[in-house]
Structure 1
Amino acid sequence: MTTVSRKKLVVAINPSASFGASRHVGPAVVQTLRAMGHEVTSLTEPDFEQLLASARAALKKHPDALVMVGGDGMVNLGTNLVAGTRVPLAIIPSGTGNDMARALGIPFDNTEAAIASLNAALAVGPRTIDAGRISWTDPVTGEAGERWFACALSAGFDAIVNERANNMEHPKGPSRYIIAMLAELVKLKPLSYRLTIDGTVLDSKAVLVAIGNGVSLGGGMKITPDAKLDDGLLDVLVVQPLSRTAFLRIFPRVFKGTHVTDPRVQITRAKKVRIEAEGIAAYGDGERIALLPIDVEVVPGALRVLSPLP
Structure 2
Amino acid sequence: MSQSPKRLVVAVNPAASFGRNRWVGAAVVERLIAEGYEVSMLREANFELLRREAESAVAQGTDGVVVVGGDGMASLGVNLVAETGIPLGIVAAGTGNDLARGLGLPFDDPAAAIDALVDRLRLPSRRIDAGLIRHGVGSTWFACVVSAGFDAVVNERANRMSRPRGPSRYTLAMLRELATFRPRRYTLTIDGARREQRAMLVSVANNSSLGGGMRIVPHADLADGLLDVFIVHPLSRAQLIAVFPKVFAGTHVDHPAVEFLTGRQVVIEADDAIAYADGERIGKLPIEIEVVPGAVAVFG
User: Above 0.5 in TM-score?
Assistant: yes
* Secondary structure of 1:221's aligned partner: coil
Q: CA deviation at 1:136?
A: 2.0
Question: 2:204 & 2:39 partners in 1: Cα distance?
Answer: 35
CA–CA separation in structure 1 for the residues paired with 2:96 and 2:172 = 14
Equivalent in the alignment of 1:95? 94
Q: Distance in 1 between matches of 2:189 and 2:37?
A: 47
Give structure 1 regions of 4+ aligned residues with deviation exceeding 4 angstroms.
Answer: 2-5
- 1:125 to partner: Cα distance: 1.9
1:62 alignment partner in structure 2: 61
Q: How far is the alpha carbon of 1:21 from its aligned partner?
A: 1.0
1:37-77 Cα shifts (integer Å, max 9, x gaps): 21110001112222122112211343221011111111111
Are 1:274 and 2:264 counterparts?
A: no
Using the TM superposition, give the Cα deviation of residue 170 of structure 1 relative to its aligned residue in structure 2, in angstroms. 2.6
Residues 128 and 302, structure 1, Cα contact 8 Å, conserved in 2:
yes
Aligned partners of 2:71 and 2:97 also within 8 Å: yes
| Residues 24, 169 of structure 1: alpha-carbon distance in 2 compared, 3 angstrom cutoff | farther
Matching residue's letter, 1:88: P
1:256 Cα deviation from its structure 2 partner: 1.9
- The residue number in structure 1 matching 2:123 is 124
Length-normalised TM-score, structure 2: 0.96
Within 5 A, what are the aligned runs for 1:76-225? Answer: 76-137=75-136, 144-225=137-218
In 1, Cα distance between equivalents of 2:42 and 2:105: 22
Unaligned runs of 5+ in 1: 138-143
Gap regions ≥5 residues in structure 2: none
Q: Select between 248-257 and 151-160 the one with higher mean Cα deviation.
A: 248-257
The residue identity in structure 2 corresponding to 1:12 is A
CA RMSD of the aligned region, Å? Answer: 1.6
Q: Percent identity?
A: 54
**Contact 2:65/2:86, CA 8 A, preserved across alignment:** yes
Q: Secondary structure at the match of 2:80?
A: helix
Q: Does 1:39 align with 2:38?
A: yes
Q: Which residue of 2 aligns with 1:140?
A: none
Quick one: distance in 1 between partners of 2:221 and 2:48? Answer: 32
1 CA distance for matches of 2:274 and 2:13?
A: 24
Are 1:14 and 1:74, in contact at CA under 8 Å, matched by a contact in 2? Answer: yes
Q: TM-score, normalized by length of structure 1?
A: 0.93
1:293 to 273, 282, 286: 286
Confirm or deny: 8 A CA contact 1:33 1:40 kept in the other structure. Answer: yes
Q: Secondary structure at the match of 1:258?
A: coil
**Gap change, CA 1:18 and 1:192, over 3 Å in 2:** closer
Aligned CA distance change for structure 1 residues 287 and 124 (closer, same or farther; 3 Å): same
The DSSP-based 3-state class of the residue aligned with 2:53 is helix
Tell me if the contact between 1:10 and 1:67 (Cα under 8 Å) persists in the aligned partners: yes
Change (3 A) 1:257 1:19: closer
* Counterpart secondary structure, 2:83: coil
State the alpha-carbon separation in 2 of the partners of residues 242 and 88 from structure 1. Answer: 42
Corresponding residue number in structure 1 for 2:253: 260
Code of the aligned partner of 1:36: E
- The whole-number CA distance in structure 2 between the counterparts of 1:272 and 1:259 is 25
Deviations 1:79-99 (CA, angstroms, capped at 9, x unpaired):
111101011111111111111
* Cα distance, 1:162 vs structure 2: 0.6
Q: Secondary structure at the match of 2:174?
A: helix
2:124–2:299: 8 Å Cα contact kept in structure 1? yes
SS of residue matched to 2:266: strand
Residue 253 of structure 2 aligns to a residue in which SS? Answer: helix
